Structure 1
Amino acid sequence: MKERSRNPATKKIARERIAVLFEQARLAFSGHPELSNRYVELARKISMRQRVRIDREFRRQFCHHCYAFLVPGRNMRVRVHRGNVVVTCRSCNRKMRYRVVRPHAGTT
C-alpha cells in the first residue's frame, strides 16, 4: 500500500481532487449512475489515504451504507421528521438522519 505523504500541501490537493470527483459524479449520474458510484469510491479512498475529512456538502451526497451517489428524487427520498432530515437510499433502503438545528428566537 502506498505510504501517506507528510507534506501538508498534499491535504489541500486531496481536498481539491475530492471536490472534482464529486462534481464529475454529479455530471455523470444522468447517463451512467454506476460511474458516479465509482467516483464516490475514489474520493473516499483519497480521503482515507490522506486522512482528510470529506466536507459536509459532499458527505451528504452519498449513502453511508452502500456508498452510492445520491440524487434527490432519483435514488433517494428526503423527509423531515421531528427536527431531523431523514434521507432514505433507494439502492439499499437504509436511512440516514441529519439533525436540523434552528437558531434560538432571542439570538440575532
Structure 2
Amino acid sequence: MKEKSRNPATKKIARERISILFEQARQAFPAHPERSNRYVELARKIAMRQRVRIDREFRRQYCHHCYAFLVPGSNMRVRVHRGNVVVTCLSCNKKTRYRVVRPDAGTEQ
C-alpha cells in the first residue's frame, strides 16, 4: 500500500480536482449521463485516497446508493415532506432525506 502523503498541498489539489470533476459531470450529463457517473466515481476515489471530505454542495449532487450523478427533473425527484427534503434517485429508486432547518420567526424583535 502506498504511503500517505504528508504534504498539505495535496489535499488542496484534491479538492480542486473534485470540483473540476463535478463541473465536468454537470456539463457532460445532457449528452453522456454515463460519463457523468464516471466523473463522480473518480471524484470519490480521489477524496477517499487523499482523505478529503467532499463539500456539501457536491455530496448532494450524486446518489449515495448507486453513485449516479443527479439532475433534478431528469433522473431525480425532489419533494419536501414534514421538514425534510426527500430526494429520490430514479436510477435505483432509493430515497435520501435532508433536514430543512427553518429560521425561528419568534426570536426576531
Structure 1 length as normaliser, TM-score?
0.96
Look up the match of 2:58: 58
Aligned-partner Cα distance in 1 for 2:108–2:52: 33
Structure 2 counterpart of 1:9, one-letter code:
A
Structure 1 counterpart of 2:87, one-letter code:
V
Structure 1 counterpart of 2:44, one-letter code:
R
Identity of aligned residues (%): 84
Q: Which runs of 5+ in 2 are unaligned?
A: none
1:31-55 per-position Cα deviation (integer Å, ceiling 9, x unaligned)? 0000000000000000000000000
4+ residue runs of structure 1 moved beyond 2 angstroms? Answer: 1-4
Look up the match of 2:8: 8
Structure 2 length as normaliser, TM-score?
0.95
Look up the match of 2:19: 19
Aligned residues: 108
Structure 1 counterpart of 2:4, one-letter code:
R
Aligned-partner Cα distance in 1 for 2:34–2:63: 14
Structure 2 counterpart of 1:51, one-letter code:
R
1:43-85 per-position Cα deviation (integer Å, ceiling 9, x unaligned)? 0000000000000000000000000000000000000000000
Structure 2 counterpart of 1:14, one-letter code:
A
Change (3 A) 1:4 1:101: same
Aligned-partner Cα distance in 2 for 1:4–1:40: 23
Look up the match of 1:92: 92
Q: Which runs of 5+ in 1 are unaligned?
A: none
Aligned-partner Cα distance in 2 for 1:4–1:44: 17
Aligned-partner Cα distance in 2 for 1:13–1:37: 21
Aligned-partner Cα distance in 2 for 1:83–1:5: 42
